[in-house]
Structure 1
Amino acid sequence: MRGRVLIVAGSDSGGGAGIQADIKTVTALGGFAATAVTALTAQDTTAVHDVFGVPPAFIARQMEVVLADIGADAIKTGMLHTAAVIGSVAGVLEKSAPDTPLVVDPVMFAKGGARLLDPAAEQTLRERLLPRATVITPNVPEAEVLLGRTIDTPEALEPAARALLALGPRGVLLKGGRLAGAVVTDVLATTAGVSRYDSPRIATRNVHGTGCTLASAVAAGLARGLALEAAVARARAFVQAAIRTAPGLGAGHGPLNHALREGPDGSFE
């Protein structure tokens, strides 16, 4: 077991996304997952039916005790649904983990379209959390909200990623899976430059939790000491294999197969 990852995110009762997907991913990639639960959701593959938020002070308490006792080699944030939650999480990071690699998945919408971030919290996210991040992992709709502009082609991804980089994170992994086309393009922007990743689109409905899984896989890589570019490449390979071998559960967007193991050549099966 290599790398301790503290996951700060919401629970998905269906097990396909949220903290359940995060734990499975980190474990599959050889790390140790600890958690601070930010919200409970009544959720399945078709929709988010209800949300019950955890008080911000208790979210902070979960983080504090884990960091004090177990520690973390990387931290990943997911669903932080209000400004108060974001402020509480940011306060713990500033005090207890100022130098720990941080992966911020700016979760705003569920796969079915449900809003998971209070619009009033968007500015707090920009000001308190994004500048602390080693890398942020928005999809196209989330990037559009953060930038206030439309991203409608793969060619628009690179300038958008550079614009997101100006918000303060050290890296931006902008995911292009929501754009149409036979090829899925992701873009990684850092101060050193931009890398583009192209993959054939997998024709499937089983994509529930892909964003959570990718961000946690990146965090697992950072926790074991990989450079950001290597962590992203490994995470993308894991997600693609998890989509290809998805179990086909549920009536909506089905969950991925997180029960994968890494081979000596870096492939997953």
Structure 2
Amino acid sequence: MKKVAIIQDMSSFGKCSLTAAIPVLSVMGVQAVPLPTAILTSQTEYPSYFCEDLTEKMTHFTDEWHKMGATFDGIHTGFVTGKEQIENIFSFLHTFYQEETTLLVDPVMGDRGQMYDVFTGELTGYMEELVKRADVITPNVTECCLLTGLSYDKLQTYRTVEDYVATLEDAGRQLQSDTNAKVIITGLNPPAHSGTRLVGNLYIDGASSYHRLQEYNGKSYSGTGDLFASVMMGGLMRGQNPVETMELAEKFLTAAIQSTSEERIPTEAGVNFESHLRMLL
């Protein structure tokens, strides 16, 4: 069985990070091995939460797993709280990343055009170094802009779907050139087409690209990016075609979002993905 080390936080409520990645990878036939970077009572969009930062504990996982002779087929990183955590990730990669290992970096830096408060210029520089080591990168549109210098505000001024997608494709190719990684840009939200808002994802690998758009219900739920990235990692471990895996992730999330919307679940609570995990078998 393939093993993937997941370096992310554990939020008890919100269905994101480790609580999203572990069940997805497990149902896809992959052993999920968590390395928690922080423990939170709930994800940070809740009005109140407690967070225990585990930065100083991360090296114990690296040391103990090294003593065990552990090896990993994949390494999956997500949200980090500071540059010290990325330094710990570099140390982890030095110990466990091999030629046959797949490193997927989800550069969780911001959303909706805004950088998260924790990200300073220094931390952004560290994240840029981390993505350069990745084999696969899954930034959302905001994170793609932050990593490439593309103006998010200018992107919102485009009047056609074609111009919007073409501009993001150019940015994605720049990011791929900078990192030599496969790039999947998530959360495309182009101008409304015939009055219908759309959402989708864009895959870029070498000279080829592929994007898929579908109707958008206007809601943004906690953890959907983590679920998407986890499905992509599971597909990579199963040797699936990345485009086929991206389509599987989209179908899985569409079903989960639809049932969540019908039940009027608060967006910070995440999506009801559990009853749809069988789609990933």
TM-score norm. by structure 2 comes to 0.80
Q: Does 1:166 align with 2:180?
A: no
1:246 to 257, 260, 268: 260
Counterpart-to-counterpart distance in 2, 1:116 and 1:41: 17
Structure 1 unmatched ranges of 5 or more:
none
> Cα offset for 1:59?
1.4
> Cα offset for 1:48?
6.7
Alignment of 1:143-162 (within 5 A): 143-151=144-152, 152=155, 153-162=164-173
Q: Does 1:184 align with 2:165?
A: no
Q: Does 1:37 align with 2:52?
A: no
Q: CA RMSD in A?
A: 2.9
Structure 1 range deviating more: 233-242 or 70-79: 233-242
Q: Deviation digits for residues 70-97 of structure 1, max 9, x if unmatched?
A: 5322111001221111111122112222
Counterpart-to-counterpart distance in 1, 2:210 and 2:73: 27
1:231 to 235, 245, 250: 245
Q: Which has the higher helix share?
A: 2
Q: Sort the Cα spacing of 1:59 and 1:44 in 2 relative to 1 into closer, same or farther, 3 A.
A: closer
Counterpart-to-counterpart distance in 1, 2:55 and 2:17: 18
Letter in 2 for 1:76: H
Letter in 1 for 2:215: R
Aligned residues of 1:24 and 1:258 also touching (Cα < 8 A): no
> Cα offset for 1:195?
2.2
1:93 paired residue number? 93
> Cα offset for 1:125?
1.4
Structure 1 range deviating more: 252-261 or 31-40: 252-261
Structure 2 unmatched ranges of 5 or more:
156-163
The number of residues matched between the two structures is 261
The structure having more radius of gyration, on CA atoms, is 2
Q: Sort the Cα spacing of 1:93 and 1:227 in 2 relative to 1 into closer, same or farther, 3 A.
A: farther
Counterpart-to-counterpart distance in 1, 2:222 and 2:6: 18
1:199 paired residue number? 213
Alignment of 1:113-124 (within 5 A): 115=116, 117-119=118-120, 120-124=122-126
Counterpart-to-counterpart distance in 2, 1:253 and 1:180: 25
Aligned residues of 1:237 and 1:268 also touching (Cα < 8 A): no
Alignment of 1:44-83 (within 5 A): 44=43, 46-47=45-46, 49-50=48-49, 51-56=51-56, 58-66=57-65, 68=68, 71-83=71-83
> Cα offset for 1:161?
0.5
Letter in 1 for 2:255: A
Q: Deviation digits for residues 16-53 of structure 1, max 9, x if unmatched?
A: 11111111221232322110011223435843745432
Counterpart-to-counterpart distance in 1, 2:117 and 2:10: 12
Counterpart-to-counterpart distance in 1, 2:144 and 2:174: 10
Paired residue secondary structure (1:217) = helix
Counterpart-to-counterpart distance in 2, 1:169 and 1:41: 34
Paired residue secondary structure (2:271) = coil
